[in-house]
Structure 1
Amino acid sequence: MFAKVVAASRSLTDGATLYTVHLRAPRIVWGEILTHRVFSRNARSSRAVPVKAMLNEVRNDPFVPWHWTGAKRGMQGVPGHDKPILLKGSAGQFIDADLPVDPASAWLHGRDMAADLAESFLDSDYHKQVVNRLIEPYSWIDGLITATDWNNFFHLRDHGDAEPHLQDLARITEVALARARVSDLEPGDWHLPFITKEDWIYAVDFYPNFDQGADFLRRVSAARCARISYTPFDGQASYEREIERYNLLIQSERLHASPTEHQATPDRMAQSVTVVSGDGGYEERTEGMAYENAGLHGNLKGFIQARKLLPGEFVHG
C-alpha cells in the first residue's frame, strides 16, 4: 500500500491547493473512498485488466489483511482477533481439513480456490469483466485522486471508527500531502499530472503559442491519467499513442470524460455586486469578490476543471 503525490499546485489567486495522488490500496476499501464526492478519481478496472495479469498478481502478491478483528455488533470489530479457523468443505492442497489454521492461511486458501475457479472460467472463454470479479477480494487497486478538499477525508478516515486498512491509507496519504513539493500557478497555468519538464520542452518547441502547447499537454495528461484503468503510467508511450487514447475517450458518441477532471487552472476573481430587492421598493447592494468562472470548477475549489471546458461533458436530466 502506498500514496504518492503525482502533482501539487497552489493557486496564486486565493491560495487553494490542488493535489493529484496515486494510491495503491486493498480493493476492498475502494467503495468507501468513492463516498467522498469532492474527489475526482479514476482507478484500475476489472473490466480492463487481462485475467492472466490479475491471476498472476493474486497468486504472487495478493492482498492479505493485516488487521484481523473479532465479531461484535456494529461496524467496528474487536482488534487483535487471532482465533484459529477450522476450514469447512474441501480444504485443498497442503491444508489438513481436520486442523484449525491461522487467519492468513485460511484467507490464502480462499484465494487459491477463487483463482482456480477464475482460471476455469477463463479456459471456457468468459470475459474478464466477469472472471476478474471472482478474485477482487484478494487484489489491490491503483487509484488516481485529484482534489482541493482533503480535510473531511482525513477527519473521517484517520479515526478509530473507520475501516482499519482505510485508516492506514488515510494516514500515509496525509503524510504524502504534507511532504509534497507544491508549485505556484497563475491563472492560465495548468496543473497537469504525469507531465514532465521534457514534455513542456517538446510542446514549446513544437507549437507556435503557449495555449496550443498547453492544450496538447492537457490531452496527454488526461490520456496518461486514463491508463490507471489497466496499468499506471510508467513513463513509456509515444505522444501519438497518447493523443489516440485521448481521442477514443473524448471524441466518441458518449464521452468518457473523468480522466479530464485531473487537469485544472486557477480561476480569477473579480469585484461582484449582489442586488436584493427589499420592501418599499429599495435595493440592498452587497459588494465583494467572486470567482469569474465558478460554474467551471466542478468539485474543485478555486480551479477551472478541464472537464468543464468540454462540450457535452454531462447529459442533464
Structure 2
Amino acid sequence: MIKAEIIADSENEFGNRITTMRVVFPRYILAELNTHRMLSKNSASSRAIPFQKLLQSVKENPFIPIAWQKDHSGMQGSEYFTDKEDINYITKNWLLSRDFAVQEAENLSSCGVTKQLVNRLLEPFMYHTVLITATEWENFFSLRCPQYEFTFDHTDTKIFRSRKDLIRYGASYHKDKYNDILFWLQLNKGMADIHMIALAETMWDAYNESTPKKLNADDWHIPFEDTINLSDLTNTLKELNGEVYENMFLPTKIKISTAMCARTSYTVIGEEGKRPNLLNDIKLHDRLSLNGHWSCFEHCAKSMNQIEYNEVYNSINKSNGGIVKDFGWSGNFRGFIQYRKMFANENITVNGK
C-alpha cells in the first residue's frame, strides 16, 4: 500500500515549482526519508494516534515486504526468494511475528502503559503517512528512485526512474510485467532499500503526472484549499467575527490549511478524507503558533515577487571554487516564502533574537 497523492502543485512566474504530496509507506523507512532536509514534512505520530486505532490498522492492513531478499553483505542485495513455498513460509512467520507484537502490545496496554511506548511495538508492521512540501526534489529522486537499466537494440543502454518511464520510452512490450515486482527489482541498479525505491518511484510518477497551477507574484500555494467549502468558511467567519469581509478569506484559508497539515500527526490511514471542522482548525492554528510548533507552517507558501526574489539568497560554492549568490531562497524553498518565515519568533535562539 505504498502511495503518493498530490495535494497541491503550483508554479510561480520564475518557473519555480512547489509541490505538496501525501505519501504512505512502511514505517521502518521513515528514518531514511527524514535525512532529506530540503523536504518540509509533517508525519503521523506513534505518540499521538490512539493505541486502538493503530492496533486495528496493524491487524487489518499490516506491512508485508514487497519481496523477500536473501541474506547478503553490504547494504543492497540482488537475490530474492522465488519459490512459492519458501515465500509462503516466510510470510507466515512474518505475520506470526506481527501477532506476537500485537499480543504483547495489548498486554502492556491493559496494564495501563502509555500509547507512547505501546505503539512502538507495532511500528515494524505499520504503514505510515507523511505530508511533504518542497521546491527542490531532484536530490531526493536522484538518490532514492530506482535505476532500471535497459538496453534497446543491444547497443542503446539507458537508465529509467520508473516503470512507466521505461514503457513510455519504448519498452511497451513490458506492460504485461508491470506488476511483476521481481522482474523490475532485477532490472534495478539503485542502492536504496527496495521499499524506499518503490516509494520514490511512486512519488516520481505522481510528480510528473501532475500539472502545477500557475501563480502570479504574491499568490499563495495552499494545500487542501480545494477541500475548504466556501459556504462553511463564510459561516465560520461570521461566527468568529460577526461580519465577513473579502480580505478575511485568504488568511483564514492559510490558517485552516496549516492546521490540516498539522493533523497529519494524529490521522490514522483511512481517515484522511474526513471533512474538516473549520472553527477547530482555526483554533488549532492559533495554539500551534502560540506554542511554537512551526513545522506545519512550512507547507503554505507565498509566491515571491521580483523584489523578494532578488533580496533573499544563499551563498553556494561552485565546483571551480568560487562563491556565488543563489537568489530566491526562503528556508528550504526557492521562489516561495514559507508561511513559517512570516513569524518573527519562528526559531528560538539562545539570546532570544
Question: TM class by shorter-chain length?
Answer: 0.7 to 0.9
Contact 2:232–2:278 at 8 Å: present in 1 too?
Answer: no
**Which letter does structure 2 place at the counterpart of 1:240?**
L
Larger radius of gyration between Structure 1 and Structure 2:
1
**Which letter does structure 1 place at the counterpart of 2:196?**
L
Q: What is the SS of the residue equivalent to 2:220?
A: coil
Output the CA distance in 2 between the equivalents of 1:10 and 1:137.
38
Residue of structure 1 aligned with 2:127, choices 140, 144, 147: 140
Deviations for 1:273-303, whole angstroms, at most 9, x for unmatched residues?
Answer: 9xxxxxxxxxxxxxx9954xx4xx1111110
**Which letter does structure 2 place at the counterpart of 1:248?**
R
Residue of structure 2 aligned with 1:256, choices 293, 303, 318: 293
Contact 1:43–1:229 at 8 Å: present in 2 too?
Answer: yes
Deviations for 1:238-285, whole angstroms, at most 9, x for unmatched residues?
Answer: 211111211221112xx1111110000111224969xxxxxxxxxxxx
In the other structure, the counterpart of 1:62 is 62
Q: What is the SS of the residue equivalent to 1:144?
A: strand
Output the CA distance in 2 between the equivalents of 1:55 and 1:153.
32
In the other structure, the counterpart of 2:5 is 4
CA 75–316 in structure 1, closer or farther in 2 if over 3 Å, else same: same
Determine if the alignment matches structure 1 residue 218 to structure 2 residue 205. Answer: no
CA 63–203 in structure 1, closer or farther in 2 if over 3 Å, else same: same
Comparing 174-183 with 195-204, greater Cα deviation is found at: 195-204
Q: Which runs of 5+ in 2 are unaligned?
A: 147-189, 238-243, 312-324
Output the CA distance in 2 between the equivalents of 1:52 and 1:298.
38
In the other structure, the counterpart of 2:283 is 244
Contact 2:218–2:303 at 8 Å: present in 1 too?
Answer: yes
Deviations for 1:65-118, whole angstroms, at most 9, x for unmatched residues?
Answer: 0121122221012331368999xxxxxxxxxxxxx9721111101100000000
In the other structure, the counterpart of 1:307 is 340
In the other structure, the counterpart of 2:105 is 118
**Which letter does structure 1 place at the counterpart of 2:140?**
F
Contact 2:18–2:133 at 8 Å: present in 1 too?
Answer: yes
In the other structure, the counterpart of 1:169 is 199
Matches within 5 A, 1:82-161: 102-159=89-146, 160-161=190-191
Contact 1:266–1:302 at 8 Å: present in 2 too?
Answer: yes
Query: What is the CA-CA distance between 1:140 and the residue it aligns to?
Result: 0.5
TM-score by length of 2: 0.74
Deviations for 1:145-183, whole angstroms, at most 9, x for unmatched residues?
Answer: 000111111111113201001111111111101111311
Determine if the alignment matches structure 1 residue 50 to structure 2 residue 50. Answer: yes
Q: What is the SS of the residue equivalent to 1:23?
A: strand
Contact 2:233–2:278 at 8 Å: present in 1 too?
Answer: no
Output the CA distance in 2 between the equivalents of 1:170 and 1:38.
15
CA 181–308 in structure 1, closer or farther in 2 if over 3 Å, else same: same
Contact 2:218–2:305 at 8 Å: present in 1 too?
Answer: no
CA 236–203 in structure 1, closer or farther in 2 if over 3 Å, else same: closer
Q: Which runs of 5+ in 1 are unaligned?
A: 87-99, 274-287
TM-score by length of 1: 0.82
Output the CA distance in 1 between the equivalents of 2:117 and 2:136.
35
Output the CA distance in 1 between the equivalents of 2:273 and 2:119.
23
Matches within 5 A, 1:166-205: 166-196=196-226, 199=229
Q: What is the SS of the residue equivalent to 1:117?
A: helix
Structure 1 ranges of 4+ moved more than 6 A: 83-86
In the other structure, the counterpart of 1:276 is none
Contact 1:149–1:300 at 8 Å: present in 2 too?
Answer: yes
CA 243–272 in structure 1, closer or farther in 2 if over 3 Å, else same: closer
Output the CA distance in 2 between the equivalents of 1:269 and 1:184.
16
Output the CA distance in 2 between the equivalents of 1:140 and 1:22.
13
**Which letter does structure 2 place at the counterpart of 1:131?**
V
Q: What is the SS of the residue equivalent to 1:196?
A: helix
Query: What is the CA-CA distance between 1:139 and the residue it aligns to?
Result: 0.3
CA 302–204 in structure 1, closer or farther in 2 if over 3 Å, else same: farther
Query: What is the CA-CA distance between 1:214 and the residue it aligns to?
Result: 1.4
